[in-house]
Structure 1
Amino acid sequence: MSVWALVLAAGASRRLGRPKQLEVVRGRPLLAHALDAASAADEVLVLTGAYAERMGGLLPDVPVLHIANWGRGMGHVLACGVRALPPEAEAVVVLLADTPGIGASAVGEVIAAWHAGAGPVVSAEYDGVSGHPRLFDRSLFAELGDLEGDTGAASLLQRHPVALVPVLGDPVDIDDEETLALAR
């Protein structure tokens, strides 16, 4: 069964004011941390948008899908990524490019729970709180492919049962100078 990781790296980082995907945390760009986490999946697809040309050097051997109309929101970006998956994709695990505290072990735990039959939606759990990575079974690809706006897959999480898998890691995402300073 083929599990794909979609790394969402298309945003404009408006709150930070510069491409956070390129910000260095613990000696490496945020995007590199996300790619390491994604390595637990069978295949990886990075979704770029606002700063695609500036991220190119970090993505020499990784399939990339540039979302030209990335400004339509995270839901739209995710939908474009899901629609681009090959027919053999059985599940997709969604990762954000700005969460350096989430590693490959967390992704692997979520994938293992899905393989064990946890359900069509599997989410990492950090001290009782659901967070990324989140995995969606092929049975939900049509719904994911119809997403719009900036809420991502929140509507699916409300409509479908979510299996929570306790994982180790720090789910905090880098959105501004304060969270970036804390991550460093």
Structure 2
Amino acid sequence: MKHPSITAVIAAAGYSSRMSAHKALYPIGDELVIERAVRILSDGGVDRVYAVTGYKRQLLHPVLRRMQSDYPLAIIENPDYKRGMFSSVLAGVRALPDETEGFLMLPVDYPFVEPRTVAMLIESADHSDADIISPVYNGNPGHPPFIKYTVFNAILEADENAPDFRGLHSVLSSPAFRTESVEVDDCGILDDIDDDSEYRSMIKKHCRLDVCYPGPFEIDRIIRKKRPSGQTVRHMEKTAELAVRYAERLNSCGHRLNPGLLKAAALLHDICKPEPDHARAGGRLLSEFGYPETGEIIAQHMDIIHNEDDEIDEAAVLYFVDKLFEEEKLMTLDKRLELKLEPYSENSETGKNIRERFKKAGLIQRKINRICTGL
């Protein structure tokens, strides 16, 4: 049974600076992180969810608006997100209705909490005089705490300039409030995703999804081993930056690309250049390092099998984005094609192959544009 005055606040306004893309837009199975967080809270008995957005909110809002047809969900913009997570707590509390008895506070990077844990916290709050109900797993407190209305004013009036202020923790740990711990059989209350390594570990642990791709340390190790030119490294970095932006945009529009996997492939796609058939050589190299999924994407970046009915995946995005760069310079497909064809006669075999590759890139570009514009 839902409780009409029980709400939840999801803090999703931060920078996700330690991840390849906005963490709320990472996939977990057939859901995005932000979608999973909303569903968990609603399935657990929360009457209304308040999703607080800030950084890249233009990408999160389409996802959240689509969910509003199925879930009681409000979107709250936090203009002060640069001040840190407590600013999102404030934005959420200010948006709560006057009759709110309490709310669950869930950072978006804790998407592995189980709905039964949410239900247990709500039930415990119904039968407790405590101001704060904290879930505990094996003696360790986690998220989301249930915070009753008796704490709201203290949150809104907190002195953020105090030398020992530590955000919401400082408010909740005040001796003015009583906390009750509820032991739950749910390790998800402790499991967050602060970086790509944790993301990979957690989806394997909770969802049995084993998607392995190199992180910054491994990428640097591979680059030091192969020693590509500085120009090649800069080209790969530019390609990765744009490819991730496309992944975020596509996920915002309903896709489920893995931004971390795509970024890793883009940062290494020319790692074997100028070897013959460097794309497949790079694919083999990444497989030898233990990253076959990354290698498969790299192997296709020079020539891909992609038809009108095929899905846009990480390999298609990398294939297309790579064609937009002449070294580090971004340009249109038409301009890049013109430059590529300059050394060859119109009817040469090489020229025909180049045109065919760019024809595929154009197809991918049109499909991406249709997805992102809805036309």
Residue identity over aligned pairs, in percent, reads 27
Q: Distance in 1 between matches of 2:88 and 2:195?
A: 21
Partner of 1:25: 28
- Shift in Å, 1:32: 1.2
Partner of 2:101: 90
Q: Is 1:178 paired with 2:197?
A: yes
Contact 1:79 1:146 in 2 (8 A): no
After superposition, the C-alpha distances for 1:118-150 in whole angstroms (9 at most, x for unaligned) are: 511001111111111101111110111234489
Contact 2:20 2:196 in 1 (8 A): no
- Shift in Å, 1:42: 1.5
Q: SS where residue 112 of structure 2 aligns? A: coil
After superposition, the C-alpha distances for 1:38-79 in whole angstroms (9 at most, x for unaligned) are: 202121111001021111222121210010111111112101
Contact 1:73 1:151 in 2 (8 A): no
Structure ranking higher in strand proportion: 1
* Structure with greater contact order relative to length (CA < 8 Å, sep ≥ 6): 1
After superposition, the C-alpha distances for 1:99-122 in whole angstroms (9 at most, x for unaligned) are: 121022111111111101151100
Structure ranking higher in helix proportion: 2
Alignment map for 1:131-170 (pairs within 5 Å): 131-147=142-158, 148=160, 151-159=166-174, 160-169=177-186, 170=188
Partner of 1:77: 88
Q: Distance in 1 between matches of 2:111 and 2:151?
A: 27
When structure 1 is superposed on structure 2, of 150-159 and 78-87 the one drifting more is 150-159
Aligned pair count reads 184
- Shift in Å, 1:93: 0.9
- Gapped regions of structure 2 (runs ≥ 5): 204-375
- Gapped regions of structure 1 (runs ≥ 5): none
Q: Structure 1 residues 119, 93: closer, same or farther in 2, change over 3 A?
A: same
Q: Structure 1 residues 14, 146: closer, same or farther in 2, change over 3 A?
A: farther
Q: SS where residue 37 of structure 1 aligns? A: helix
Q: Distance in 1 between matches of 2:178 and 2:18?
A: 32
When structure 1 is superposed on structure 2, of 142-151 and 99-108 the one drifting more is 142-151
Q: Distance in 2 between matches of 1:115 and 1:126?
A: 21
Report the TM-score, using the length of structure 2 for normalisation: 0.47
Report the TM-score, using the length of structure 1 for normalisation: 0.93
